[in-house]
Amino acid sequence: MRSGKIIKRIIQLAPVLMIVLMAVIYFAALKDLTFEQVLNYTPTAPLAAAAVLLLMYALKSLSYFFPMLLIAAVAGAVLPIYAAIPVNLLGIVIMASIPYAVGKYAEGEVVDKLAAKFTPDVKNAEEMAENLAEMGVSVTIVQRPKQLLAPLDADMASFVHAEMRRHGVALRLGETVTGFRQDGDSVLTLLEESEPLHSDMVLLAIGVTPDTHLAKETGLRLGIRGSIAVNERMETSVPDIYAVGDAVEVSHFVTGQKALISLAGPANKQGRIAADNICGGSSRFHGSQGSSVLKLFGLTAASTGINEKAAQAAGIAYDRVVLFPASHAAYYPGAQSMAMKVLYEKESLRLLGAQIVGGDGVDKRIDVLATAIRAKMTALELTELDLSYAPPYSSAKDPVNMAGFMIEDLENGKVRQFHWNEVEDLPCDGSAALLDVRTEGEYRRGHLNGFRNIPLDDLREHLDELERDKPVYVNCQTGLRSYLACRLLTQYGFTCAHLSGGYSFYQVVTQERQTARSAYPCGMEKL
């Protein structure tokens, strides 16, 4: 017990001791030194100099303060090479041995505090994988769900999967882990239907489960998945007992259904509400919509509200639009494309949810859409939002406005659309016209089977080649040119629909699915 407290105190004082030591050395002996004198300096007491350097290595092992390479450089500057090398080697041994001793002999509390201090702040397995991959570690993610980031729909998650694979992270999705076994110096991860995976380390990131045994033992009413049931005041079933955060059951703002939403934002709001009510106030928590954002390598992925799966589970009749707007005016340097998906209820046109994956500007747009959902705006009201504009930051028609315009045109009957998962069911027997309105170069680089290439700029000259009694299905790269083509064709009496999200969206989703299939041994397809 006492040794643990001593070690804890040393760890706390290590940065202070380092600063004091450096100050003493400076004011006692070094303040009058010139740069030339430093370069030519030879200590009169080499053993004492070596001891000081070893002490600095020891203090470095317990603190971020002072870079190790600088200590090694100082040793090389003040000591002869035959002395500097052994001092540095011994210093490295000391620096590694002290944390080992702390871990072996200190109390668990001390180790936990160190882990909290030196472990990167990550939310989930994806962020941990990014941190490890950036350090050069070979990383494999194994999980039972067939996609990463459950708040996203599977098609939007395809962008995340592609980014993870591009950075060397192997994905074993749809796999069930059955256990672990030591195999010499490595760990075997046992899988239900595949050969075990060998690794040096296994990290478990299995989600959040409310630890509510105390609430259960005290007789508090529990909610879904063992969570604590609370009212809008964050009060439990027992008067004057309040609960907040990951442990409580809340109402989803969009569906009104009970939910567990483990996010810091709602938890902080709940804490404030509970405190207000404890102090005699009357504050209410009106539900959470699960707004979240995270960075993964070069991508930002964000969502708010509900996705398609949640809408289907809630029995909500919905539709969606997919678009690829630029983060700011395309003519201004540095514009980046983002994939945006917006869901809305068909009957009322109220906004249900949004998902965005891209680079710059994702966080800004998801927050605007989250605010619109909280304000119970309709999808058509997105067109009226007066958002700030300057070429480095946005376009005159912001991506959020664009989503509203697309929904408005759909609901007014100006255009029709079909989606990536409906492409394979399109008639290829000549009963419909399949058009690709991209340039010839884009078409040659890849296209949908059965689609004829007529660039948008040439479409008017080829109208007489199309039969007006046959429906026309149009595709382009991101959905903009196909939309324009459909508007043109409709004016000439054609029945037309365009591919939502265009060939880009279709390609990312289908290639990801194909990649996922090929990641498994023959006969072990997971999709």
Give pTM, 2 decimals. Answer: 0.74
Q: Would you say residue 110 has pLDDT above 80?
A: no
The average pLDDT across 124-153 equals: 88
- Please tell me the total count of domains within the chain: 5
Final residue belonging to a domain, choices 379, 411, 443: 411
Q: Are 400 and 490 members of one domain?
A: no
Q: CA-to-CA distance for 394 and 400, rounded, in angstroms?
A: 10
Angle, CA 292 vertex, CA 150 and CA 478 arms, to 5°: 75
3-state secondary structure of 11: helix
- 496 sits in the region (left: phi over 0; alpha: psi -120 to 50; else beta) called beta
Sheet bearing 338-345, strands edge to edge: 292-296, 299-305, 351-358, 338-345, 318-323
Q: Are 166 and 220 members of one domain?
A: no
Q: How many CB atoms lie within 10 A of CB 480?
A: 17
- Kindly state the DSSP code that residue 190 receives in the 8-state scheme: E
Which residues, 6+ apart, have CB-to-CB distance to 523 below 8 Å?
Answer: none
Q: CA-to-CA distance for 110 and 14, rounded, in angstroms?
A: 14
CA distances from 376 to 266, 344, 381, 486 (A): 18, 11, 10, 31
Q: Are 12 and 64 members of one domain?
A: yes
147 pLDDT band (50/70/90 cuts)?
very high
Give pLDDT, residue 31.
59
Task: Tell me, yes or no, whether 526 lies in a domain.
Answer: no
Task: Tell me, yes or no, whether 516 lies in a domain.
Answer: no
Closest to 67 measured CA to CA, from 79, 76, 77, 57: 57
Q: The tokens of 400 are what?
A: 């959020």
Angle, CA 362 vertex, CA 360 and CA 363 arms, to 5°: 110
The average pLDDT across 228-249 equals: 95
Sheet bearing 197-199, strands edge to edge: 177-183, 186-191, 197-199
Task: Tell me, yes or no, whether 108 lies in a domain.
Answer: yes
Give pLDDT, residue 59.
73
Give pLDDT, residue 93.
85
Q: Are 186 and 218 members of one domain?
A: no
E-state strands within 324-468: 338-345, 351-358, 417-418, 433-436, 452-453
478 pLDDT band (50/70/90 cuts)?
very high
Q: Are 243 and 301 members of one domain?
A: no
Q: Give the strand pairing for 170-173 and 140-143.
A: parallel
Alpha helices in 375-501 (DSSP H): 399-411, 440-444, 480-491
Q: Are 228 and 243 members of one domain?
A: yes
Q: The tokens of 458 are what?
A: 């040439």
Taking the CA atoms of residue 363, residue 366, residue 367 and residue 371 in that order, the dihedral angle to the nearest 10 degrees is: 180
Q: CA-to-CA distance for 209 and 247, rounded, in angstroms?
A: 8
pLDDT tens digits, one per residue of 426-469 = 998 889 999 999 999 999 999 999 999 999 999 999 999 999 99
pLDDT tens digits, one per residue of 70-85 = 777 777 777 777 788 8
- Kindly state the DSSP code that residue 327 receives in the 8-state scheme: S
Q: CA-to-CA distance for 485 and 476, rounded, in angstroms?
A: 9
Task: Tell me, yes or no, whether 39 lies in a domain.
Answer: yes
The average pLDDT across 5-26 equals: 64
Range of the domain at 240: 213-278
Q: Give the strand pairing for 472-475 and 318-323.
A: unpaired
Q: How many CB atoms lie within 10 A of CB 7?
A: 20
Average pLDDT in the chain: 86
pLDDT tens digits, one per residue of 369-390 = 999 999 999 999 999 999 999 9
Q: Would you say residue 65 has pLDDT above 60?
A: no
The residue assigned the tokens 């397995």 is: 125
Task: Tell me, yes or no, whether 520 lies in a domain.
Answer: no
Q: The tokens of 381 are what?
A: 């009201």
Q: CA-to-CA distance for 307 and 315, rounded, in angstroms?
A: 12
How many Cα atoms sit within 13 Å of 82 on the Cβ side? Answer: 0
Q: Would you say residue 37 has pLDDT above 70?
A: no
Final residue belonging to a domain, choices 116, 142, 170: 116
Alpha helices in 26-124 (DSSP H): 35-39, 46-60, 68-78, 81-105, 108-118
Phi, psi of 382, rounded to the nearest 5 degrees: -60, -30
Q: The tokens of 390 are what?
A: 């300057």
Q: Are 397 and 299 members of one domain?
A: yes
Residues 506, 482 contacting (CB under 8 angstroms): no
Q: Are 112 and 219 members of one domain?
A: no
Final residue belonging to a domain, choices 67, 99, 116: 116
The residue assigned the tokens 């529990």 is: 222
Q: Are 83 and 38 members of one domain?
A: yes
pLDDT cut 70: percent of the chain above it? 84
The average pLDDT across 309-333 equals: 94
Q: What is the CATH number of the domain that holds 399?
A: 3.50.50.60
Long-range contact list for 518-521, CB < 8 A, 24+ apart? 519/170, 519/171, 519/172, 520/194, 521/194, 521/195
Q: Would you say residue 193 has pLDDT above 50?
A: yes
Q: CA-to-CA distance for 83 and 48, rounded, in angstroms?
A: 12
The average pLDDT across 134-145 equals: 90
Q: CA-to-CA distance for 212 and 215, rounded, in angstroms?
A: 5
Q: The tokens of 508 are what?
A: 């990312």
Higher per-residue confidence, 287 vs 45: 287
Q: What is the DSSP string of 411-424?
A: HTTS--EE-GGGGG
Q: Are 21 and 108 members of one domain?
A: yes
The residue assigned the tokens 């009212």 is: 231
Higher per-residue confidence, 332 vs 134: 332
Task: Tell me, yes or no, whether 72 lies in a domain.
Answer: yes
3-state secondary structure of 160: helix
Q: The tokens of 424 are what?
A: 């394979």
The average pLDDT across 291-316 equals: 95
Q: Are 106 and 129 members of one domain?
A: no
116 pLDDT band (50/70/90 cuts)?
very low
Q: What is the DSSP string of 254-291?
A: TT--EE----HHHHHHHHHHHHHHHTT-------B---
3-state secondary structure of 141: strand
Q: What is the CATH number of the domain that holds 469?
A: 3.40.250.10
Q: Are 94 and 53 members of one domain?
A: yes
Task: Tell me, yes or no, whether 182 lies in a domain.
Answer: yes
Give pLDDT, residue 239.
93
pLDDT cut 90: percent of the chain above it? 63
Higher per-residue confidence, 264 vs 11: 264
Q: The tokens of 395 are what?
A: 């376009």
Q: CA-to-CA distance for 176 and 126, rounded, in angstroms?
A: 18
Task: Tell me, yes or no, whether 206 lies in a domain.
Answer: no
